[in-house]
Structure 1
Amino acid sequence: MYQDFAAELAWARRHMPRTAKALAALPDLSQVRLACNMHLDLKMAPLVEGLIERGAKLFLTTCNPTTVQDQVVAHLVAKGAEAMAWRDMSDADWSASFDAALAWGPTHLCEMGADLTARLHQFADGPAIKAGLEATGSGISRLGGVAPRYPIFNWDDLPVKEGLHNRHMVGLTAWHTFFQTTHLTLHEKTVLVIGYGLVGQGVAASAKAYGGQVLVAETDPARALQARYDGWPVVTLDEAVASAEVVATATGAKHVLGRQQLAAMKDGAFILNVGHVAEEIEVPFLKAHPHSQPMPFVNAYALPGRTLYLLADGSMFNLTAGYGDSLNAFDVTLAVMVAGIGHVVGAGQGAEPGLHLLPEPAWRAVL
C-alpha cells in the first residue's frame, strides 16, 4: 500500500504532534511488558516507536487481520517489538496469536476488541495483568460477559473519541474509500445505514453530504427516535434492502445482514461494513455463489437474477481498503490512547478489578 514507507512514516510523524507530546510525557516504562491487540497500520507506528523509546517491551497482535499492513509490522519488529500478525492471517493463526501474546507474559494490555482479555479469562490462571485499556464499543460489550481479574479502562466512551473518531471520521473515510474503490459517487443512490449509534450517525450524515438519499434501519427504539429527530426516514431492514443501492452496516453485531436480506437485495447493490466485527454480513452465504473481482476490494456475487457487490470481504471497509482516519484527527485519538497507557501503568493499577471509564484528569491534558 505504501509507495515509499520511510517517507510516508515521516509524514505521519510530522502531522501527529499531540501523540509525540503525549509520548514524551510518559514515565520510564522499562518495567512494562505491554501486549497490544490493535489495528496495525501506518498511524500506529509512531505510538509503538514512542513506547519502545520510553523503555517498554511490546508484543503486537491484531484485532483484525484484514487491516494489518505488513510493512508496518516489519518496521516495528526491527525497532524492537515482538509480533505475531500479518495481513489476512488465517483464523487459526489469529487465534494462536492471542495465546502467544499471553504466553509472552505481559504486565499490561492495550486492546481494541477485548480478544486478549476474553482469551485470558477462559482459564483459571495466566499472566498477572496489572491493568488494561479497551478502545472499542464491541470490546466493551464483550466485557459485559466477563468478570475481569484486573482493572480495565474504557476510553471508547470518552466524549473526545465518541465525538471525533466514532461520529465523524469513520463515516467520512468510509465514503472516501467507496469513491476510490468503486470510482462511483453516491449521487442518485439510495443508501441504507444499518445501525444508528455514533458510527452510524456519521455514516448517514456523510452519505447525505456526498449526495446520497439516506434511509436508516435501527431496532433500538431510542436510537430510532433519535434518527427520526435528525430527519432520517427510519425503515425496517427487510423493507429497505429491496430498494437500497448501497448498504452499510454499522452495528458491531454479528449477522445483522443475513441471507434472507441478501437474497432480497436489489441487482447491482453495494454492501460494506464499517463496524468492528467482521461478521456483520453473512459472507459465507454470498461465497456459496459464483463470484469474480471486477475491481480491487470489490467482489461480485452472482445470485439468481441479480449481482451483489461486497466490498473488502465484509471487513472494516475504511481501514481494509483505505487509510482510515486522517492523520490530524487520529492524532487526537492516539494521544488519548497514549494518555490511557500512562494511566494503566501508573495510578490505574491501583483501581479495583472491573471496567472503569478512563478518568478525565488522565487524558484532558493531551488536547
Structure 2
Amino acid sequence: VENAGQYASNNVLSKNIVAFNSGSNAPINSTNETLRRTIIEVRETMLGCPAHRGPVGHIVTASMVSSEIRVGNRMADYKVADIRLADFGNKEIALAENEMPALMALRRKYAPQKPLDGAKIIGCIHMTIQTAVLIRTLLELGAVVRWSSCNIFSTQDHAAAAMAQDGVPVFAWKGETEEEYDWCVEQTILANDKPWDANLLLDDGGDLTKMIHEKYPAMLDHIHGISEETTTGVHRLVEMLENTELKVPAINVNDSVTKSKNDNRYGCRHSLNDAIKRGTDMLMAGKRALVIGYGDVGKGSSASLRQEGMIVRIVEIDPICAMQACMDGYEVVSPYLDGINTGKSADIDQRLLGETDVLVTCTGNTNVCDAAMLETIKPGAIVCNIGHFDNEIDTAYMRQSWRWDNVKDQVDQVFRSENPNDYIILLSEGRLVNLGNAMGHPSRVMDGSFANQVLAQMHLYEQGWANQPVDQRAPVSVEVLPKKLDEEVAQLMVEGFGGVVTQLTQNQASYISVSTEGPFKPDSYKY
C-alpha cells in the first residue's frame, strides 16, 4: 500500500506491504486497526494461509509478515514468528549442544559415513532449542527434513527462527490456533503444493501420522517407518495396529529406558514446578496438590511438587502404580467417594477437592479431570495438564459453561459464577504446561530422548522397508529399539556426566549369562 511507511512503525513491515501491493492506490488511514486489517488481507490472499490471531485482542505482528517472504517477493518455505530471532536462537543452541553429550557423540561418530544420506524426514515434535540440536544432527548425518511443532504453545520462536535461517522448511510459532496448527503440519507434508517424497516420519503424539494416513495415504508406499516420541502417540499407533489401520512399521521411542526414565520422569521433575511458578508466581510450600496418574510422568510430576514442599496426593486406576505411590510415601486417594466414578458432583469427595490447591493431570487419558471435579475444586485452585493433549481436563465444559478472563499468555482465570472469588486458574488452556508456561525439559534430559530418535531413524532407514517388494516386507509392527542401542545411549550420557562404567570380567559375564559388551538385562527387566 502506498505510503505505508508513515503508518507502520516497523521498516521491514513497511517494505513488505509496499512489495505486496506495488502500484495500488488503496489508501491506509491513520488508524492502526486499518493497518492490521490490511496485513491480514495481505497474508490470507497472497500467502495462502490463515490469518494469525494469537491471544485474544491480538491480530498479527510486523515480524509475522516479514518472516513469510524472501527477497524478490518469493514465498519462503517456512513460517515462523520472527526470523530476526535467529541469532538469539543460535546462541542458545550452542549452549544446549554442550548439555547434550550423547546426541553430539552420535553426530561425531556417524557424520563421516552419512548414514541418512537420501533420507527425507517429516518431523512433528515440539520446536524447541533441544529439537534444533536434533534437527542439525539429522542434517549432519545426511538427511533432509521438513518440520512443524506438535503443540500450539510449545514452539520456542527463536529456535524456529534459527532453523529457518539454516534453510530448514519449518512451520511453527508459539500460540498457533487449531486451524494454523493443522496448516503447519500439512505444510511439512507438502512441497510446492504437492505431497513431498518423504521416506521417514518422526512424530510426537501421532497427529502427523494420522494426517498422512487419512489425507495422503499414497505417500505411505514410500515411507520406511515412523519413530514415535511420546506415550499418547504410542497408544494411537497400537490402536491403529490393532485395527489394521497402520500401514508402515513404527518404533516406540517412548518406551526406551533412556527416554521414559529420563524424559518422562526426571524431565517432569524439573519442569512442572517451573511451569507453575512462572505462570502464577505462587509459593507452593505447605499447599496441597492432587496428581492424577502415577506412571513415569506422574512419578516425576509428584516429585517435582514434593520438592517444592507441597503435600501431594495421588489418583490412580492401576493398583500396581497405586502401590508404588504408597511405597514412595504418597497418599492414594480418589476424587469420587469409594473410588466409584459416576461423573456426578454429588458423588465427589468434597473435602478432598475442597482443599486441593493444585491439580495436575498426567495420564494420556480423557476427562480424568471432569466437569464434576472442576465444579467442586477449591476456589482459586490451579489446574494444569502435563500429558500430551488437552482432553485430560474437560476444557470443553469450561468453555461452554463459564466465563474466561485471560490474565496473560497461557494463564486464564475461569469464573464459575458471578462471585469474583469463585474461579479456577487454568494454565496453557489445559495443554502441555511445561512447554506452554515454561521452557520444557532441560537439554541434558532431552539428550537421551533425541539420541534415541536419531538411532531409530537410522534403524528404519537401514531396514529400507518401503524398498522391499510388497510380498517380501516384514509385517507392520510397533516395536521398541533393541536394548543394545538403549545401552549405547546410556553409556554416552554417563560419559557426558563424567562417570565411568565398570566392565564385567569374562567370568562374571558367563556367571550371569550375558556378553561383556551387553545387553546386560533381559527384555523383561523392569528398570
In the other structure, the counterpart of 2:334 is: 236
Compute the displacement of 1:351 (Å). Answer: 5.2
Compute the displacement of 1:56 (Å). Answer: 1.3
User: Which structure shows the bigger proportion of residues in strand conformation?
Assistant: 1
In the other structure, the counterpart of 2:196 is: 104
Contact 1:111 1:133 in 2 (8 A): yes
Kindly indicate whether residue 307 of structure 2 is the aligned counterpart of residue 209 of structure 1.
yes
In the other structure, the counterpart of 2:478 is: 355
Compute the displacement of 1:177 (Å). Answer: 2.1
In the other structure, the counterpart of 1:65 is: 152
Instruction: Name the CA shift for 1:174/1:101 in 2 (closer, same or farther; >3 Å).
Output: same
- Structure 2: distance between partners of 1:172 and 1:6: 24
Amino acid across the alignment from 2:219: G
Amino acid across the alignment from 2:196: W
In the other structure, the counterpart of 2:434 is: 318
Following superposition of structure 1 onto structure 2, how do residues 160-175 of structure 1 map, counting pairs within 5 Å?
160-175=258-273
Q: Which of 197, 207, 210 is equivalent to 1:115?
A: 207
Amino acid across the alignment from 1:359: P
TM-score (norm 2): 0.66
Q: Out of 117-126 and 180-189, give the one that drifted further.
A: 117-126
- Structure 2: distance between partners of 1:363 and 1:236: 36
In the other structure, the counterpart of 1:268 is: 380
In the TM superposition, what whole-angstrom CA distance separates every residue of 1:39-94 from its partner, at most 9, and x where no partner exists? Answer: 00111111112222333111112211210123322221221222233322222232
Amino acid across the alignment from 2:139: I
Contact 2:381 2:424 in 1 (8 A): yes
Q: Which of 3, 23, 32 is equivalent to 2:107?
A: 23
Kindly indicate whether residue 149 of structure 2 is the aligned counterpart of residue 33 of structure 1.
no
Q: Out of 221-230 and 15-24, give the one that drifted further.
A: 221-230
TM-score (norm 1): 0.92
Is there any run of 5+ residues in structure 1 with no aligned partner, and where?
Answer: none
- Provide the secondary structure at the position in 1 that maps to 2:214: coil
Amino acid across the alignment from 1:131: G
RMSD after superposition:
2.2
- Provide the secondary structure at the position in 1 that maps to 2:379: coil
Work out which structure has the larger RCO, using CA pairs closer than 8 Å and 6 or more positions apart in sequence.
1
Compute the displacement of 1:324 (Å). Answer: 1.1
In the other structure, the counterpart of 2:232 is: 138
Q: Out of 351-360 and 151-160, give the one that drifted further.
A: 351-360
- Structure 2: distance between partners of 1:72 and 1:326: 15
In the other structure, the counterpart of 2:446 is: 330
Amino acid across the alignment from 1:69: Q
Is there any run of 5+ residues in structure 2 with no aligned partner, and where?
Answer: 1-80, 190-194, 336-347, 466-472, 493-527
Contact 1:252 1:280 in 2 (8 A): yes
Aligned positions, number: 367
In the TM superposition, what whole-angstrom CA distance separates every residue of 1:169-196 from its partner, at most 9, and x where no partner exists? Answer: 1132110222233222221211000111
Kindly indicate whether residue 155 of structure 2 is the aligned counterpart of residue 155 of structure 1.
no
- Structure 1: distance between partners of 2:433 and 2:310: 18
Contact 2:107 2:140 in 1 (8 A): no
Instruction: Name the CA shift for 1:348/1:274 in 2 (closer, same or farther; >3 Å).
Output: farther
In the other structure, the counterpart of 2:40 is: none
In the TM superposition, what whole-angstrom CA distance separates every residue of 1:131-176 from its partner, at most 9, and x where no partner exists? Answer: 2211111011111221322221111111121211111211321102
Q: Which of 274, 288, 291 is equivalent to 2:404?
A: 291
